[in-house]
Structure 1
Amino acid sequence: MKLNIVPARTGFVWVKLGVRTFLRQPLALTGLFFMYMAGVLVLSQLPFVGTILGAMLVPAATLGLMAATAEAASGRFPMPSVLISAFRAGRQRARAMLVLGVIYTLGSMLATLLASAMVGEPNPAAAADTQNPALDARSLVALVLHTPLIILFWHSPALVHWHGVAPVKSLFFSAVACFRNLGAMLMYAATWLGVFVIVAFLFSSVGMMLGGVAVARSVMLPTVLLLVAMFSTSLYFTFRDSFDAEDLPQIEAAPPGESAP
């Protein structure tokens, strides 16, 4: 496995490839993304363990969405079974993916607890008030504390699945790849931020003109979800270009109609 150093402008290319690939198979990729979201919602309804199980499956779900993008990028229709790709690559790699899930869950819980300790838990009345500054501050601190976790897990599910890297090593390699390609990652983040802001402004403005705040909100929800689905489609390209692909399945080289191994 070899790390590739890419120029900063590649971050913009990753966004463009993600949008282009999404538009090739919009129904399939949207459907897979909503299947993942539905699965998380169902798990969250389970008492006591629902949230933990949902967090444990984040690395595997991320890999599933990346595998779906790889299929779409090669001209194939991604089937629903691609979402469980992490558990179809043999017992050893499935176990490694579950280990990643445990590490992610513990890291997320730690970040959330630290945010609560730093800002404090809002009382029930404050929690019901979405405009409460303490609640917003706690969410912001939690997001900042999750940033190192995001960096560690950005490439790790794909490294475990496609390169057979051990879970802990995959976290290290993921962080190194993100920092060595920091310019491209910052361009990638800035481009997506610009896309979200521009699209949100346009659609919310249209909604306000058509019927006020209620219509604007009803328009914005599906729009944001579609943008997040597009964003998830672009993740594969950040991995593909950051590492030597010699160990990857023959996703792009396989002739149309043949399945990648």
Structure 2
Amino acid sequence: MKLHRVPARTGLLWVRLGLRTFARQPLAMGGLFFLFILGVSALAMVPVLGAPLALSLVPAATLGLMAATKEADRGRFPMPAVLATAFRAGRERVHAMLLLGGLYALGSIAVMALSALLAGDVPKLPADGTEGAEAVLDNPALLRHLAWQAVLYIPLGLLFWHAPALVHWHGVHPVKSLFFSLVACWANMGALLVFMLGWAGVFFAASLVLVLLSSLLGGAGTLQVLLFPVASLLSAAFFTSLYFTFRDSFLTDEGTPPA
């Protein structure tokens, strides 16, 4: 495996490829993303161990969505079983993916703990979710907590950006995959920045369209109805584009894309 540096404009290409591939198989990619979110959310509700277990499955689930994108890009319909791709590659690769998932869970917990420490005392929402909730949401400590989380998740995200694909498709050791992922992201930081700005523009444009539609069709009620499905579909399209960021960031020893 060799690092492949790409120009910054490639970031927009990744956005277009993600949107185009999603448009080819919107039901499949949208449904797989929904299953991913549903499974992780359901597991997270299990007392005590649920949240760490849910976090540990994120790299494997992300790999599953990348494998689905690979299928859709080749004109095939990705079936739900593709989400379990990481666990159908032999015992060694499964163990490596589980180790990577454990590292991701530890990293996420560390980010949340450190952001809470830096933000100070973060108030908790009331148990019934009603009385006092508005005061909690307006508390500056909560905003600081969320801001610190966003900042601290950036290095964690770069470490794990390409790691699941490197572990699964190319047998890279989980710890080494984190290093290679970070180096590749740093080398192609311009393209990744354009990629993120491009997706920010897509979400912003979609938000404007929703606001205009809601003003024409019934106000805030219409906006509330449309917001969740549109945000979910755009998030699915975003995850669809992740495969292309990996494919173009590495080359095999023969000089061809890795997957």
TM above 0.5: yes
Summarize the alignment of residues 193-204 of structure 1 with structure 2, pairs less than 5 Å apart: 193-204=200-211
Contact 2:4 2:249 in 1 (8 A): yes
8 A Cα contact 2:12 2:195, kept in partner: yes
Q: Hey, what does 1:132 align to over in structure 2?
A: 139
Contact 1:204/1:219 (8 A) holds in 2? no
> Structure 1's 137 and 209: CA in aligned 2 closer, same or farther, altered over 3 A?
farther
1:70-89 to 2 correspondence within 5 Å?
A: 70-89=70-89
1:184 aligns with 191
RMSD (Å) for aligned C-alpha atoms: 1.8
Whether the 8 Å CA contact 1:71–1:251 is kept in 2: the answer is no
Identity value in percent: 53
- The partner residue of 1:142 within 146, 149, 167 is 149
Aligned partner of 2:66 in structure 1 is 66
Q: Following the alignment from structure 2 to structure 1, what is the Cα–Cα distance between the partners of residues 121 and 76? A: 48
Distance 2:140 2:220 in 1: 22
For the pair 1:154 / 2:161, whether they are aligned, the reply is yes
Match of 2:120 in 1: 120
Query: 1:43 matched to which residue of 2?
Result: 43
Question: 2:241 corresponds to which residue?
Answer: 234
Partner Cα distance (1:231, 1:123) in 2 = 32
Using the alignment, how far apart are the partners of 1:33 and 1:224 within structure 2?
12
Alpha-carbon distance change, 246 to 60 in structure 1, aligned in 2, over 3 angstroms = farther
**Residues of 2 paired with 1:36 and 1:125: CA distance?**
26
1:215 aligns with 2:222: yes
Q: Does residue 18 of the first structure (1) align with residue 23 of the second (2)?
A: no
- Give secondary structure in 2 for the equivalent of 1:186: helix
Alignment match, 1:57: 57
Determine if the alignment matches structure 1 residue 165 to structure 2 residue 169: no
Gaps of 5+ in 2: 127-131
Instruction: Give the Cα separation in 2 of the matches to 1:24 and 1:72.
Output: 7
Q: Distance in 2 between matches of 1:125 and 1:90?
A: 44
Q: CA deviation at 1:40?
A: 1.1
Amino acid at match of 1:242: S
Which is further off, 126-135 or 103-112?
126-135
Name the aligned partner's letter for residue 83 of structure 1. L
Alpha-carbon distance between aligned partners in 1 of 2:69 and 2:125, rounded to the nearest angstrom: 43
Cα distance in 2 between the residues matched to 1:80 and 1:219 = 25
2: CA distance between counterparts of 1:200 and 1:132?
A: 26
Alpha-carbon separation, structure 2, partners of 1:245 and 1:212 = 53
Q: In structure 1, what is the Cα distance between the partners aligned to 2:202 and 2:10?
A: 16
Q: Distance in 1 between matches of 2:199 and 2:176?
A: 29
CA contact (8 A) 1:74 1:251 kept: no
1:79-103 CA-to-partner distances (Å, cap 9, x unmatched) read 1111010010111011000111111
2:9 is the counterpart of 1:2: no
- Secondary structure of the residue that 1:124 maps to in structure 2? coil
Aligned to 2:33: 33
Q: Cα–Cα, structure 1 residues 251 and 114, in superposed 2: closer, same or farther, change >3 Å?
A: closer
Question: What's 1:258 paired with?
Answer: none
Contact 1:30 1:229 in 2 (8 A): yes
Residue 60 of structure 1, CA deviation: 0.2
TM-score (norm 2): 0.92
- Length-normalised TM-score, structure 1: 0.91
Q: Do the aligned partners of 2:251 and 2:258 also contact (CA within 8 Å) in 1? A: no
Which digits, 9 at most, give the CA deviation of each residue in 1:39-78, with x for residues without a partner? 0121022111111111000100010000000000001110
